[in-house]
Amino acid sequence: MPELIVYGIVLGSIIALGSVGLTLIWGITDLFNCAHGDQMTVGAYIALVVGSLFSRVGFLQGKVGPFSFNWGLLVAFIPAILISAGLAILIDRWVYKPLRRWGATSIVGFIASIGVAWALRGLIYILWGADYHFYFHGIRPMLFLPLGIKVRVDEIFIMVVAWAAVVAVYLFLARTKTGKALRAVADNPALARVAGIGTERMIVWAWAIAGALIAIAGMLYGIETQLRPEMGWIFLLPLFAAIILGGQGSITGALVGGLVMGIAQQVSTAWLLPSYKPAVAFILMVLVLLIRPQGIFGRR
């Protein structure tokens, strides 16, 4: 059991990281972005391509410390994050911004995001095929902790990077002027507009952050397991469950929700088949919706 909880924290860290951007978009534009999971897949695959390019460079071929992956992949994180953020901004400009402009309801945006999700997944299938891909091959070093817990060394890296990224975004939102304006828009768009904050510019920022964080989540999940075209879709239900548990637009709520969903999914495997994991997240989410629809940290 303690082992399952540790695995749950690893998985929950990735879900928490992915859900921050999702709840930010939800808070600011009222949109449930169904393509978020597939944007995660895109981020992971970009890192695969860029990483294998970098790995041809001599001094990037060595493994990073005790971890399974090489420097090429680690350096590839940066372009992958930037491309994913740029893609998120472009998707918003081409799809959701026109919808906002003619005052479509958030439900129309929700349906459109499903179209975006399929287009992205089709692209991944065409470029990389349906087969599994791996960032690296060979054995993965293990770490033996007390209580008989075995974790992979990579999982320490995953947790450190995930929470470092979360802290960075948190500091950005708490300390910088742009970050404060973003939170103001998320809290009350109408009031923020009256205060002279450019809502559309803040929405671009929100998409950039969401794109960057989901790319990191995708790459970390790729390190944890493997890359496959459906990996993001599988993540979507836990991501939605996490932000609904946390409450609309609440970063703290999304982080807590993500951890809860990760732990619940892994611990459930003690009694249920592992393939039921997405269903566990979903049933928790419905329970939250029925008992406390505004979420734990929700404002309404």
Partner 1 sequence: MGIEIGGILSFLVSFAIMASIYAIFSLGLNVQWGYTGLLNFGIAGFFAIGAYASALITTPRPTGVLADYVDQAIGLNQPFLVGVIGAAIASGLLAALIGLLTLRLRGSYLAISTIGIAESIRLFFNNEPWLANGPEGLSGLPQPLHGLVSPRYYNYIYLVIVLAFLALIYIALERGIRSPWGRVLRAIREDEVMASADGKDVFLFELQSLVVGAMIMGIAGALYAHFSVAIQPGVFTPLFGTFIIWTMLTLGGTGNNKGAILGAFLVWALWSWSTFFINRIVPPGFATRAPFIRYILIGLVLVIVLLRRPRGIIGEERQVSRF
Q: In the complex, which residues of this chain contact partner 1 (CB under 8 A)?
A: 32, 95, 98-99, 104-108, 110-112, 114-123, 125-126, 129-130, 233, 237, 240, 244, 273, 275-276, 278-279, 282-283, 285-286, 289-290, 293
Interatomic CA distance for residues 259 and 296, integer angstroms: 13
- Specify the amino acid at residue 26: W
Cβ–Cβ < 8 Å for 117, 34: yes
Least distance (Å) between residue 193 CB and partner 1: 23
- Is 22 or 256 the residue whose CB approaches partner 1 more closely? 22
Q: Which H helix or E strand runs over 232?
A: helix 231-246
Q: 106 vs 226, which CB is nearer to partner 1?
A: 106
Nearer to partner 1, 121 or 212 (CB): 121
Contact 217, 242 (CB under 8 A): no
Instruction: Provide the sign of the torsion angle of the four alpha carbons 180, 181, 185, 186, taken in this order.
Output: negative
Contact 195, 10 (CB under 8 A): no
Nearer of residues 57 and 111 to partner 1, judged by Cβ:
111
Q: Which of 50, 51, 71 is nearest to 60 (CA)?
A: 71
Least distance to partner 1 from the beta carbon of 91, Å? 10
State the minimum distance, in angstroms, from the CB of residue 22 to partner 1: 12
User: Would you say 35 or 46 has its CB closer to partner 1?
Assistant: 35
Residue 115 or 141 having the CB closest to partner 1:
115
Q: Residue 242 has which token pair?
A: 């996490």
The residue among 170, 227, 213, 228 whose CA lies nearest residue 82 is 213
What is the distance between the terminal CA atoms of the chain, rounded to a whole angstrom?
36
- Can you tell me the distance from the alpha carbon of 112 to that of 64, in angstroms, rounded to the nearest whole number? 41
> Minimum distance between the CB of residue 278 and partner 1, rounded to whole angstroms?
6
Least distance between partner 1 and beta carbon 240 (Å): 5
CB closer to partner 1, 126 vs 147? 126
Identify whether the C-beta of residue 110 lies closer than 8 Å to the C-beta of residue 32.
Answer: yes
**Which residue lies nearer to partner 1 by CB, 89 or 223?**
89
CB of residue 214 to partner 1, shortest distance in Å: 18
What is the Cα–Cα distance from 228 to 184, expressed in whole angstroms?
A: 38
- For residue 55, give the 3-state DSSP assignment: coil
Q: How far is the CB of 129 from partner 1 (least distance, A)?
A: 5
CB of 220 to partner 1, least distance (A): 24
